[in-house]
Structure 1
Amino acid sequence: MSFISAWCLVIVSLCYTYVVSQLVSKGIGRMILFTPVFLYFFIVPLSLSNIHAVGITAFFISWLANFKLFLFALGRGPLSSNSTPISLPIFLFVSCLPVTIHLSPKPTTSYSHGGSKEGLLYYTIMATLLVLLIKVYEYTTKLPDKAVLTLFAIHIYLFLELTLFATATVVRALSGLELEPQFNKPYLATSLQDFWGRRWNLAVTGILRPTVYEPMVQLLSFLDPNWSRVLAVFATFVVSGLMHELIFFYMGGLMPDWKIMWFFLVHGLCTTVEIAIKRRVNGRWRFPIGVSRVLTFGFLMVTSLWLFMPVFNRGNIFERTLEEYTYAGAGVAEIKTIIASLL
Structure 2
Amino acid sequence: MATAVMDSEFGSLVKVSAAVWAAMFYARLAAASLRPGAPRLAALLPVVALFCVVPFSFSTTTFRGCSAFFLSWLGVFKLLLLAAGRGPLNPTHPLHHFVFSASLPVKLRHLASAKPAKGVDPAPANESAAGKILVSGAVIPLIIYTYQFKNAMSRYQLLILYTGHIYFSLQLLLAVVHGLIHGVLGMEMEPQVDRPYLASSLRDFWGRRWNLMVPAILRPSVYRPVRARLGDAAGVLAAFLVSGLMHEAMFFYIMWRPPSGEVTVFFLLHGVCTAAEAWWARHAGWWRPPRAAAVPLTLAFVAGTGFWLFFPAMIKAGLDEMVLHECQGMVAVMEQSGRWLAGATNLTFATR
Calculate the TM-score normalised by the size of structure 1: 0.91
Deviation, structure 1 residue 118: 4.2
Residue of 55, 61, 64 corresponding to 2:71: 61
**Residue 210 of structure 1 aligns to a residue in which SS?**
helix
- 2:90–2:98 Cα contact (<8 Å) kept: no
Alignment of 1:160-171 (within 5 A): 160-171=170-181
Distance across 1 between alignment mates of 2:114 and 2:233: 30
Name the counterpart of 2:253.
Answer: 250
**Residue 320 of structure 2 aligns to a residue in which SS?**
helix
Distance across 2 between alignment mates of 1:38 and 1:335: 38
Residue of 310, 315, 321 corresponding to 2:323: 321
Q: What's the CA shift string for 1:23-50, capped at 9, x where partnerless?
A: 2222211100111111121122123211
- 1:249–1:256 Cα contact (<8 Å) kept: yes
Deviation, structure 1 residue 165: 1.8
RMSD (Å) for aligned C-alpha atoms: 1.7
Deviation, structure 1 residue 305: 0.7
- 2:132–2:172 Cα contact (<8 Å) kept: no
- 2:255–2:319 Cα contact (<8 Å) kept: yes
Distance across 2 between alignment mates of 1:283 and 1:196: 24
Distance across 2 between alignment mates of 1:142 and 1:202: 35
**Residue 102 of structure 1 aligns to a residue in which SS?**
strand
- 2:280–2:286 Cα contact (<8 Å) kept: no
Alignment of 1:1-343 (within 5 A): 1-80=11-90, 85-102=92-109, 105-108=113-116, 110-112=121-123, 117-119=126-128, 120-220=130-230, 228-280=231-283, 282-343=284-345
The residue type paired with residue 29 of structure 2 is: V
Q: 1:337 to 1:123 in 2, by over 3 A?
A: closer
The residue type paired with residue 100 of structure 2 is: F
Deviation, structure 1 residue 4: 2.8
Distance across 2 between alignment mates of 1:172 and 1:132: 29
- 2:132–2:175 Cα contact (<8 Å) kept: no
The residue type paired with residue 52 of structure 2 is: F
Q: What's the CA shift string for 1:277-321, capped at 9, x where partnerless?
A: 1112x2553212121111111111110011000122222211111
The residue type paired with residue 58 of structure 1 is: A
The residue type paired with residue 266 of structure 2 is: F
Q: What's the CA shift string for 1:58-106, capped at 9, x where partnerless?
A: 000000011011111111111137xxx2110100010000111237822
Q: What's the CA shift string for 1:98-147, capped at 9, x where partnerless?
A: 1112378222564346xx54424354233322222111111111112332
The residue type paired with residue 292 of structure 1 is: A
Per mean C-alpha deviation after superposition, the further-off stretch among 46-55 and 283-292 is 283-292
Per mean C-alpha deviation after superposition, the further-off stretch among 96-105 and 58-67 is 96-105
The alignment of Structure 1 onto Structure 2 pairs a total of residues equal to: 330
Name the counterpart of 2:350.
Answer: none
- Identity, in percent, stands at 35
The residue type paired with residue 244 of structure 1 is: H
- 2:223–2:235 Cα contact (<8 Å) kept: yes
**Residue 178 of structure 1 aligns to a residue in which SS?**
strand
Gaps of 5+ in 1: 221-227
The residue type paired with residue 129 of structure 1 is: V
Name the counterpart of 1:225.
Answer: none
- 1:253–1:315 Cα contact (<8 Å) kept: no
Distance across 2 between alignment mates of 1:159 and 1:111: 21
- 1:100–1:203 Cα contact (<8 Å) kept: yes
Distance across 2 between alignment mates of 1:111 and 1:164: 17
- 1:165–1:182 Cα contact (<8 Å) kept: no
The residue type paired with residue 303 of structure 2 is: M
Distance across 2 between alignment mates of 1:117 and 1:287: 31
- 1:68–1:207 Cα contact (<8 Å) kept: yes
Gaps of 5+ in 2: 1-10, 346-352
Name the counterpart of 1:223.
Answer: none
Distance across 2 between alignment mates of 1:21 and 1:180: 24
